[in-house]
Structure 1
């Protein structure tokens, strides 16, 4: 199995868990949990493929991604009945999904011959769009727009930029590792130390 395929399924599982967790306390049944998991795990990649005209969309070409997201949501649904998951678990799962999907978005875009600049944009979109859809469905302000959520899209942008800059210059597995690690470490550092970009203040 290729590195890309392993990363894709791990990212799908992690993002599905992060997508399902916000359903806690909202009286959402198992079907609703599965829907939240799938839109979070598949939404960003779907939007990327539609914009890049990469047909068929990745999960239509290979439905195993839908199965991975569904099974992950079901496992979480059962586990949540026996284990109270701390809020930080959601943040960590979301950071992992963000890092993995950002790298996947850049990689696929570059492989399709898209310019590095557009590939970075597609990487950020792949990383954050699913979470935006999830938050809209649960009537929450999307994480990427919340002031108290630290360096979310910024971490994705940095990781995507590292991946795009190194693509084709060094070993492929090293590019994957550095791209994922950049996004993840910046996001985790921001969570730990409350790092934020300065706000726009008009006089």
Structure 2
């Protein structure tokens, strides 16, 4: 069980830190919009990338630095766009009222956004394919696959927790000012991540 627990701990250590993916899942959970499909997209994506890293794909990614540069620029552009929408909701009351209406984002739009935030973020590849993949392969065989199962279990525990657990914050976010604060923080976070990605490209 040691490789499994090591993978579980490593995975939780990486994904618990606040980032674009967690911020989006939390926001959807508070608004109760497409929570289940968003959570499924995030944990399925993580599982695919984790097991690809266990299989050794991370080594190929490291040998193609030009690919990471392209991913960084595309990801930065995506995050800037998302930050602009969040800032618009925070600064314009009319936009805010539409955002807090019962139906603000369709499940399909939420799924596409979750997929974009996940797959256009190069840090996801570095964390899962390279870092977790390296740690997994250090366990030997078959230990590396137990490590991968543990890491995937971390995602399977975390995303439902913040997606469905966020409903407990709904009382606080019943006030429009709370949404403005959240969207303002999300805008700053996304823009900051975009700047980091662009600087690394």
The verdict on a shared fold, with TM-score over 0.5 as the criterion, is no
Query: TM-score by structure 1 length?
Result: 0.33
Relative to its length, the structure with more helix (as a share) is 2
Query: TM-score by structure 2 length?
Result: 0.33
The structure with higher relative contact order (CA 8 Å, sep 6+) is 2
